[in-house]
Amino acid sequence: MLKFSLFSKVSIFAILAWAFFNALPNFVSPSVLPDFLPQKTINLGLDLQGGSHLVLDVQLEDVLETAYENLEDEVRANLRAEKINYTNLRARADSVQFNLREVSDVDAARAALQDGLRLKIDHDGAQFKLTFSENALAEMSSNALNQTLEVLRSRVDEFGVSEPLIQRQGERRVIVELPGIDDAARAKAIIGRTARLTFHLVEAAGAAVLAKPGSIVRYEETRDPVSGQVLARTPYLLKKRASLTGDRLTNATAAFDQQGQPAVDIAFDARGTRQFAKLSTDNVNKRFAIVLDGRVYSAPVFREPILGGRAQISGNFSLQESQDLSTVLSAGALPAEVEVVEERTIGPSLGADSIAASQVAISVGFLAVLIIMAIFYGVLGMAANIALLFNVLLILAVMSVVGFTLTLPGMAGIVLTIGMAVDANVLIFERIREELSNGHKPLLAVNNAFNGVMSTILDANFTTLIAAIVLFAMGSGPIKGFALTLTIGILASLFTAIMLTRLMIVAYLEKTKRRSWSF
């Protein structure tokens, strides 16, 4: 038990050296360290660095409305393919309804529209009502929420926020935390924007336009460049069905139009390029509207076929708006609108105060432990103190290398870990005292002590480890931060208490060759 092979000693010192050099950038500015040394530091969480905390509610009703609009197109195509005559086909918020011209076509219509377990088909004579099944609705909602998470992650990444938190909460909400953000209003505008881009052929423009079946009215707004106030609204009568959507975009970049005004250049993928080429070829000298989130940004004329798969969105917006617009378009459109239901902004001063208070608490607690251990256990206490120091360095090193984010609860986890590491040493030292009082030689007493308390130390630490794992798996946000640092701390304390402390005690006894010992 007390013999350490050369390999064991080298391994222990290698781990300690790794911990020291990887924790060093947290105490010394990485800019002054040589390039060959590690440069990563611990990321500070929202509560320490300041930033924004948003809770978004995904408007799943929008997803359902879009799904029924698409179902309307499917129904129309299927009925026409089977040459079944119908009237009054329309999509509602919760169903698609139509009437058959001939009651004798009921069975044929049911056969044409049957789609496994996806649809429920109800009819009263020639009147049909189609709704999605419960399983289909649940799948659409889940997919929409997952897609929302992916789009939000892409937008936040392009916005340049370090170590954001984006996670699902419940059935329709998403939590977004943006540490270190200095413009919360702009970030919220970028994150919450639907960015649904569509291209529609223009049927008419001007004050006299009126909506009619198969068409919609959308407005182009002229805004004051300074105040952003709407000065005028120009109505456009557009075909209801979009000829092309932003789903086919591959890139969007901020640019300038021919008049030197901010604009956004967009590029389509191969399929989108073919669709846009056909659209422009079939409608030369006709106007088309570029609509973003229900607002017409521009309505140019196809002067000639556009075959390169590129277009430009121009409008009355600033350079910052064009950059933000390119960001959200590049990240993709949200499947539904999101509503900010909770918003909290934490200033950096609060984070600095929290860091300072936590540092004082950790420092005072750490110093008190060092003094008490040295007073009560002498040389053994000094060995425990050295092990405790490396325990903290190991925690910091792992968090720095892996890129974990440190929060206030995480700091609490470090403090708790320090207490648990000392607890293991106290068990060992008290058992050594018992063995010495029974007349055993120092080396034998140390060997018996470690053998005797090993199972107790492992049981206590692994029980806590199980609780930490459950907290991490079931918790969220600050709870995960606490559980994570606690888990790392438990593993580090097991290494330092069992391996490092034992190595130092054995080295001391072998060097001093003590035949008796009391402390």
Per-residue pLDDT tens over the stretch 471-481: 888 876 678 77
Residue 133 reports pLDDT greater than 60:
yes
Token look-up 């092309």 returns 244
Report the alpha-carbon distance of residue 95 to residue 374 in Å, rounded.
76
Average pLDDT of the residues in 179-205: 79
DSSP 69-118: HHHHHHHHHHHHHTT--EEEEEE-SS-EEEEES-GGGHHHHHHHH--TTS
Q: Tokens for 438, please give them.
A: 């029974």
Token look-up 């058992």 returns 431
Average pLDDT of the residues in 378-382: 89
> What is the model's pLDDT at position 168?
86
Average pLDDT of the residues in 160-170: 74
Report the alpha-carbon distance of residue 13 to residue 303 in Å, rounded.
74
Residues 6+ apart with CB under 8 A from 494: 424, 457, 458, 461
> What is the model's pLDDT at position 150?
82
Residue 514 reports pLDDT greater than 70:
yes
> What is the model's pLDDT at position 233?
85
- 30 CA to centre of own chain: 27
Structural domains of the chain, ranges and CATH numbers in brackets: 6-50+348-512 (1.20.1640.10), 61-137 (3.90.1070), 193-345 (3.30.1360.200)
The answer to whether 173 and 341 are in contact (CB under 8 A) is yes
In the chain, the N- to C-terminal Cα span, in Å, equals 22
> What is the model's pLDDT at position 472?
84
> What is the model's pLDDT at position 22?
92
**What is the value of pTM for the model shown?**
0.60
> What is the model's pLDDT at position 28?
86
Q: Tokens for 127, please give them.
A: 């009147």
Residue 119 reports pLDDT greater than 80:
yes
The answer to whether 243 and 288 are in contact (CB under 8 A) is yes
Banded model confidence at residue 72, pLDDT cuts 50, 70, 90? confident
Give the Å distances, CA to CA, from 183 to 153, 167, 179, 188, 267. Answer: 18, 21, 11, 9, 29
Report the alpha-carbon distance of residue 290 to residue 322 in Å, rounded.
15
3-state secondary structure 351-404: HHHHHHHHHHHHHHHHHHHHHHHHHHHHHHHHHHHHHHHHHHHHHHHHHHHHCC
Per-residue model confidence as pLDDT tens digits over 426-436: 888 889 888 88
The answer to whether 112 and 130 are in contact (CB under 8 A) is no
Q: What is the dihedral of CA 407, 409, 415, 416, to 10 degrees?
A: -140
> What is the model's pLDDT at position 394?
93
Q: Is 101 exposed, middle or buried (0-12, 13-18, 19+ CB in 10 A)?
A: exposed
Report the alpha-carbon distance of residue 359 to residue 54 in Å, rounded.
28
Q: Is 103 exposed, middle or buried (0-12, 13-18, 19+ CB in 10 A)?
A: exposed
Q: Tokens for 468, please give them.
A: 């930490």
> What is the model's pLDDT at position 282?
92
- The amino acid that residue 52 corresponds to is S
Banded model confidence at residue 351, pLDDT cuts 50, 70, 90? low
Average pLDDT, the chain: 84
The answer to whether 155 and 165 are in contact (CB under 8 A) is no
Average pLDDT of the residues in 281-310: 87
Report the alpha-carbon distance of residue 27 to residue 511 in Å, rounded.
34
Among 71-75, 278-282, 360-364, name the one with the lowest average pLDDT: 360-364
Average pLDDT of the residues in 35-51: 80
Report the alpha-carbon distance of residue 263 to residue 254 in Å, rounded.
6
Q: What percent of the chain has pLDDT over 70?
A: 94
Residue 74 reports pLDDT greater than 80:
yes
Report the alpha-carbon distance of residue 340 to residue 55 in Å, rounded.
6
Report the alpha-carbon distance of residue 84 to residue 106 in Å, rounded.
9
